[in-house]
Amino acid sequence: MQDGNALAVRPDAGPDEDRNSGSREKGLNRVLHILEFLHANQRAIGIGDLAKGVNAPRSTIYTLVRSLVDAGLLEMAGDGNRVYFGKKLYLYGMDYVRGNDLLRHGRQEVDNLSRETGETSELCMLQSGRYTIVHSSPGTRPFRISSATGLQIPLPWTASGRLLLAGFERAVIEDMVSEDDLVLPDGRRLLLDDFIADIATAGAAGYCVTSGLVDAYTKCLAAPVFSAAGKVEATICLVVPIDTSEEKTGDLIALLRERAARLSITG
């Protein structure tokens, strides 16, 4: 009865709006989007907004969210009609930590480093082709380097990024790094060739230092943690003021490399 039928002709390549997503999405994908959206926003979201945020029908999100809340993956936030991550995800996350020696020891090492040096220290890994701060410990300096756990940053912006890509084929690297990734926060643009050259040097040297890349006031020192297979599995890094003396920087790098090497052994 509805004109729905009439419209059914659907001129195919609709000229107007970007009917970007095929109308019907797998429920699991919706869920994955929901989780990503919550992760990106870092706060409880109303179900209506959630539906908008992941570009899905309200009714679908209602049913999915109910399932997820029942399962404990999500929880209703205080005021009643907002949702955020739930205890179950925390428990699963702890399971991951327990099953992952590198992460377990790496977290500890990073905490130690920041306590010993007073600088911000981070454990970084590749996460589905993106650079991810897996754990960070703030350090004691007055200024705070903004770096929440789980934050994802373009690989070329970081010292760790250069180490993590050591040993990858050029094609793979090109694939991981988008054009936008090469543009620094201040607008400067890196050349892909320079970046790839950096990767080679860093890999050979066994450490990497970048100055004033993400911001003008800090430099980043990083050392690689190797897997048993000899691949760079993670990096630990220190974020220090850009005017840190050559000598102190050298000392810190030595310290970092020693700790990273220790992590490589214990897994």
Partner DNA sequence: TACATGTGTCTTTTGTAAGAGACAATCCAG
Partner DNA sequence: CTGGATTGTCTCTTACAAAAGACACATGTA
- Considering the complex, state which of residue 7 and residue 148 has its C-beta at the smaller distance from DNA: 7
28 sits near DNA (criterion: CB under 7 A): yes
Q: Among DNA, its own copies, none, what does residue 103 contact (CB within 5–8 Å per kind)?
A: its own copies
Amino acid at 114: S
Give bridge partners of residue 135 from the DSSP assignment: 123
Ramachandran angles phi, psi of 261, nearest 5°:
-65, -40
- Considering the complex, state which of residue 39 and residue 248 has its C-beta at the smaller distance from its own copies: 39
229 sits near DNA (criterion: CB under 7 A): no
Minimum distance from residue 143 beta carbon to its own copies (Å): 21
41 sits near DNA (criterion: CB under 7 A): no
Compute the CA torsion angle 251, 255, 258, 259 (nearest 10 deg).
Answer: -170
Minimum distance from residue 71 beta carbon to its own copies (Å): 5
Minimum distance from residue 78 beta carbon to DNA (Å): 12
- Considering the complex, state which of residue 123 and residue 163 has its C-beta at the smaller distance from its own copies: 123
207 contact partners, CB below 8 Å, separation of at least 6: 163, 221, 222, 223, 224, 253, 256, 257
6 sits near DNA (criterion: CB under 7 A): no
149 sits near DNA (criterion: CB under 7 A): no
Q: Among DNA, its own copies, none, what does residue 48 contact (CB within 5–8 Å per kind)?
A: DNA
226 sits near DNA (criterion: CB under 7 A): no
